[in-house]
Amino acid sequence: MTSRLEKKIKIISQGLNVFYGTKQAIKQVDIAIEANTVTAFIGPSGCGKSTFLRCINRMNDTIEHCRVEGTLLIDGQDIYAPAVDPVQLRAKIGMVFQKPNPFPKSIYDNVAYGARIHGLCKNKAELDNLVERSLAKAGLWEEVKDRLKESGTGLSGGQQQRLCIARTIAINPDVILMDEPCSALDPIATAKVEELIDELQSNFTIVIVTHSMHQAARISSKTAFFHLGTLMEYDDTAKIFTHPQLSQTQDYITGRYG
């Protein structure tokens, strides 16, 4: 595994503010997120963690009256610069949502969809190979290899979520964002997704929003604690959970509020 000293910074936020109309949802967030690391965003409901996550792939652009101020860099590029095409940006930043959302298509077509749209494969053989590799990376190939023509919506909840992850990694994104990816899953399916996240971090930078303190402690190397739109504390996960600097962090992780 790459040592902490060798890890480069993938995402940098400087003075980021987000407004919904006149309401400020994010306040002056400064953070540097390491490449090939799982970073967890924790905090009570409505604290801004999902809003900030959506800034990273400009999904807030789709919300009327939403305004983003400040700087957000990925690999040194300001993703809010006028020349940046949000559609192209999202092709490099995968998103896995709270509720599994496979397309009403076959398992094969779910995974192949992005590659077809972006012209990533020259022929059917390349596409077949990409689908198999992506499903294998998502820990799903052995379960579905004889059912590729069946609908993705017919899979179990946990399998659907892993299918969505396969669909995401098929386009080889730079970053994978996950917004509560296990909240709709049972403990066994959650364990499989968490194991998958751990395996994927060697190839992808992963940022996950979670309400589960146990999940953040299990799968992340870095944890950011948000409260009332402010990034309160950001450090190694072990340090956040054992020696937090702020009383608010301590109160949240010990269940005094949230």
Chain-centre distance for alpha carbon 199: 14
Dihedral in degrees, nearest 10, Cα atoms 65, 70, 74, 80 = 50
Range(s) within the chain of domains with CATH label 3.40.50.300: 1-92+205-258
Q: What CATH class has 1-92+205-258?
A: alpha beta
Whole-number pLDDT of residue 99: 92
Whole-number pLDDT of residue 7: 78
Whole-number pLDDT of residue 258: 57
Whole-number pLDDT of residue 3: 47
Sole residue written with tokens 């999940």: 215
Considering only CA atoms, which of 218, 161, 216 is closest in space to residue 49?
Answer: 216
Q: Three-state DSSP class for 231?
A: strand
Q: Is the pTM of this model over 0.85?
A: yes
Output phi, psi for 39, to 5 deg: -115, 125
Residues near 110 by beta carbon (within 8 Å), at least 6 away in sequence: 102, 103, 152, 163, 164, 166, 167
- What are the mean pLDDT values of the chain's consecutive 10-residue runs (258 residues total)? 66 97 96 97 94 96 93 96 92 92 97 90 95 94 97 96 95 94 91 93 95 95 97 97 95 82
Report the distance separating Cα 154 and Cα 58, nearest Å: 31
